[in-house]
């Protein structure tokens, strides 16, 4: 009986601790559950295109789970899941002259083009929900 009560007490303490951490979301917990890969790239392009780095990282997480070589059935490529035709247009708008589809596997290029496109959509629609 004492063992059962001790086990229940430990279980309650662990459950309470987990509930507290889950509800307060301390920084170490968030980094554990949602690691930010390519942090320098994300922060740099977020700054360049006046985006919240958390928003840019969230889009990447949603689109590719931070897999640089992700492919979709619709043909979207890379971290930001850009379609080649869209990326080609972005390359032209941003001064790129020698765009290759394989460029979209490069996290630096993919996030730069994706950040530009996200900024473009936010400016066009003036509403984050619509832009996303």
Of 74, 73, 67, nearest in space to 107 by CA: 67
Does residue 18 contact residue 32 with C-beta atoms inside 8 Å?
Answer: no
Confidence of residue 34 (pLDDT cuts 50, 70, 90): low
Please check the confidence at residue 91 and state whether its pLDDT lies above 70. Answer: yes
Q: In angstroms, rounded to a whole number, what is the distance separating the alpha carbons of residues 111 and 57?
A: 10
Task: List active site positions.
Answer: 63
Q: In angstroms, rounded to a whole number, what is the distance separating the alpha carbons of residues 44 and 105?
A: 18
pLDDT digits (tens, 9 = 90+) for 37-84: 899 999 999 999 999 999 999 999 999 999 999 999 999 999 999 999
pLDDT given for residue 107 in this prediction: 98
Does residue 114 contact residue 79 with C-beta atoms inside 8 Å?
Answer: yes
Please check the confidence at residue 22 and state whether its pLDDT lies above 80. Answer: no
Average pLDDT over residues 94-101: 85
Please check the confidence at residue 32 and state whether its pLDDT lies above 90. Answer: no
Record the tokens describing residue 94, joined without a space.
């941003």
Q: What is the mean pLDDT of the chain?
A: 89
């Amino acid at each position: 009986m004492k063992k059962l009560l001790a086990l229940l007490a430990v279980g309650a303490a662990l459950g309470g601790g987990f509930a507290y951490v889950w509800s307060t979301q301390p920084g170490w917990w968030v980094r554990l559950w949602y690691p930010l890969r390519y942090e320098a790239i994300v922060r740099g392009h977020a700054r360049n295109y006046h985006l919240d780095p958390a928003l840019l990282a969230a889009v990447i997480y949603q689109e590719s789970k931070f897999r640089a070589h992700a492919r979709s059935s619709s043909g979207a490529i890379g971290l930001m899941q850009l379609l080649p035709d869209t990326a080609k247009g972005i390359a032209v708008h941003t001064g790129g002259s020698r765009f290759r589809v394989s460029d979209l596997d490069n996290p630096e290029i993919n996030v730069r083009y994706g950040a530009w496109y996200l900024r473009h959509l936010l400016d066009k629609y003036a509403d984050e929900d619509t832009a996303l």
